[in-house]
C-alpha cells in the first residue's frame, strides 16, 4: 500500500479526479497532513466517511522509529529505524538563521569516498519520498520546532536516487503543504554529470552543492572513485554550463584533510579551477572517526587555505564545526550502532 507521504499534491488531485471526486479534496487532505499534522484519515473531519474508507484502502500512514539521539552544542543527531528494520540518520543544526536539517537519501552509499563513514556500509536501497519526508516531520514533532532549511547531504548520493529525491522536494516545497522555500533546500552531489544536466532543466530554484574535496584529478580520484568516471575538468565544464543555464550560484564543498588536500599548492590549484565562476567554496573541518585514518587539518592550516582563496577573489566560508562529540560524521552513528 502506498504511503500517503509518498504522494505529491498533483498526484493526489489526479487521484480524486480519477475516482470522480473534486480536485479540492487533495488540498483538504494536504492541509490535514502538513498543517494540522494528523496521524490518521479518521481525524480528517471535513471528509465524508465513505471517502475516508476509500483513502484507508488506498493509502497508509507510515512512520519511522527514533532509535536514539545524541546532542552537542547547536546540534542534535537522530538514528531512525525504517519499517523494514534498516537504519538511517539525520542531523539537526541550530543556526542564527534557523534550524537546518541534513537528511539521508539512501540506506548506505555506493560512492565509496575514502574519508566518508557512509561509504564503509554499502548501499542497500534507495529511500522512498515518504522516508525522507518523515525525517523532517518526526524531528519537528519530537522537538516542537520548525525546520527552516533542508540539506540532502546525509547518508547516500541524492542524484543516485534522483526521481525519489525530486518527488521529496516537490512535497516539502508545496505551498499548500510544508511550504519550505526552494531556496532553503540544497542538494549535495559528488558529481554525477548526467543528473546535474537533468537537474539544470528541472526549473526548480533548489540550491546545488558539489562535493569537490580535491584540487586536481589524481588526488580527487584517490579520495573519490566517482572521479574515475566523471573527471574534474568535465565536472567543472558541466557546472559552468549549469550556472549559465540557471543563473544560480553553486557551492563547492571542501573537507580539509590533514596533509592530504590542505597544502598551499592545493589552494592555488583550486583558485585556477574556480576563478571567474559564480560560486563559493565552503571549507569544512573534518569530523574524525575511529574507522578512517584521515585527520582534521589544524586551525592555522584552514585559515591559511581560506586566506589564499580570499586573496584571489574566490568567495569562501569556513563552516562552523558541528557535533564532534555526537558522531556527526555522515553515517558514523549508524555504523557504530550496527557494530554494537
Facing residues of 95 across strands?
Answer: 98
State residue 310's pLDDT score: 98
CATH of the domain at 94: 3.20.20.70
State residue 263's pLDDT score: 98
Residue tagged active-site, from 116, 190, 238, 330: 330
Which of 60, 80, 99 is a domain's end point? 60
State residue 118's pLDDT score: 72
Same domain for 86 and 108, yes or no, is yes
* Tally of domains in the chain: 2
Which residues are within 8 A (CB) of 272 and not within 5 positions of it... i.e. 6 or more apart? none
The yes-or-no answer on residue 330 being catalytic is yes
Tell me which residue of 74, 129, 126, 86 sits closest to 334, measured CA to CA.
86
pTM over 0.85: yes
Q: How far apart are CA 84 and CA 260, in angstroms?
A: 39
Same domain for 8 and 108, yes or no, is no
- Displacement of CA 250 from its chain's centroid (Å): 15
Same domain for 48 and 82, yes or no, is no
CATH of the domain at 15: 1.10.150.530
CB–CB of 78/89 below 8 Å? yes
- Displacement of CA 234 from its chain's centroid (Å): 24
Q: How far apart are CA 261 and CA 266, in angstroms?
A: 6
State residue 288's pLDDT score: 86
Residue numbers in the chain where pLDDT is lower than 70:
119, 322-340
State residue 119's pLDDT score: 64
Residue tagged active-site, from 13, 89, 117, 253: 89
Facing residues of 59 across strands?
Answer: 2
State residue 331's pLDDT score: 46
* E-strand stretches of 201-320: 207-211, 250-256, 279-285, 315-318
The yes-or-no answer on residue 89 being catalytic is yes
Q: How far apart are CA 289 and CA 35, in angstroms?
A: 39
DSSP state of 314: -
What cell does 16 get? 480524486
State residue 203's pLDDT score: 87
Amino acid at each position: 500500500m502506498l504511503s500517503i507521504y509518498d504522494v505529491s499534491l498533483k498526484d493526489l488531485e489526479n487521484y480524486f479526479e480519477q475516482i470522480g471526486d473534486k480536485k479540492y479534496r487533495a488540498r483538504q487532505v494536504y492541509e490535514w497532513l502538513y498543517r494540522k499534522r494528523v496521524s490518521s484519515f479518521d481525524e480528517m473531519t471535513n471528509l465524508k466517511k465513505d471517502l475516508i474508507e476509500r483513502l484507508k484502502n488506498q493509502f497508509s500512514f507510515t512512520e519511522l522509529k527514533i532509535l536514539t539521539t545524541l546532542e552537542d552544542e547547536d546540534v542534535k543527531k537522530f538514528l531512525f529505524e525504517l519499517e523494514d528494520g534498516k537504519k538511517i540518520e539525520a542531523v539537526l543544526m541550530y543556526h542564527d538563521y534557523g534550524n537546518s536539517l541534513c537528511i539521508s537519501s539512501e540506506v548506505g552509499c555506493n560512492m565509496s569516498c575514502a574519508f566518508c563513514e557512509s561509504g564503509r556500509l554499502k548501499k542497500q536501497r534507495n529511500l522512498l519520498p515518504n522516508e525522507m519526508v518523515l525525517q523532517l516531520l518526526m524531528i519537528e514533532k519530537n522537538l516542537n520546532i520548525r525546520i527552516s532549511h533542508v540539506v540532502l547531504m546525509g547518508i547516500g548520493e541524492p542524484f543516485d536516487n534522483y526521481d525519489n529525491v525530486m518527488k521529496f522536494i516537490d512535497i516539502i516545497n508545496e505551498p499548500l503543504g510544508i511550504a519550505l522555500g526552494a531556496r532553503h533546500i540544497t542538494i549535495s552531489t559528488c558529481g554525477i554529470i548526467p543528473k546535474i544536466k537533468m537537474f539544470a532543466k528541472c526549473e526548480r530554484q533548489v540550491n546545488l552543492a558539489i562535493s569537490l574535496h580535491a584540487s586536481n584529478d589524481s588526488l580527487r580520484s584517490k579520495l573519490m572513485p566517482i572521479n574515475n568516471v566523471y573527471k574534474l575538468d568535465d565536472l567543472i565544464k558541466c557546472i559552468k554550463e549549469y550556472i549559465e543555464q540557471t543563473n544560480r550560484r553553486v557551492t563547492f564543498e571542501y573537507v580539509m584533510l590533514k596533509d592530504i588536500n590542505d597544502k598551499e599548492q592545493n589552494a592555488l590549484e583550486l583558485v585556477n579551477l574556480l576563478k571567474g565562476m559564480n560560486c563559493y567554496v565552503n571549507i569544512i573541518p573534518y569530523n574524525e572517526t575511529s574507522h578512517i585514518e584521515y585527520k582534521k587539518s589544524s586551525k592555522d592550516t584552514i585559515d591559511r587555505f581560506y586566506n589564499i582563496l580570499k586573496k584571489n577573489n574566490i568567495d569562501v566560508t569556513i563552516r562552523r564545526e558541528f557535533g564532534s562529540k555526537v558522531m556527526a560524521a555522515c553515517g558514523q552513528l549508524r555504523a557504530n550502532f550496527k557494530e554494537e
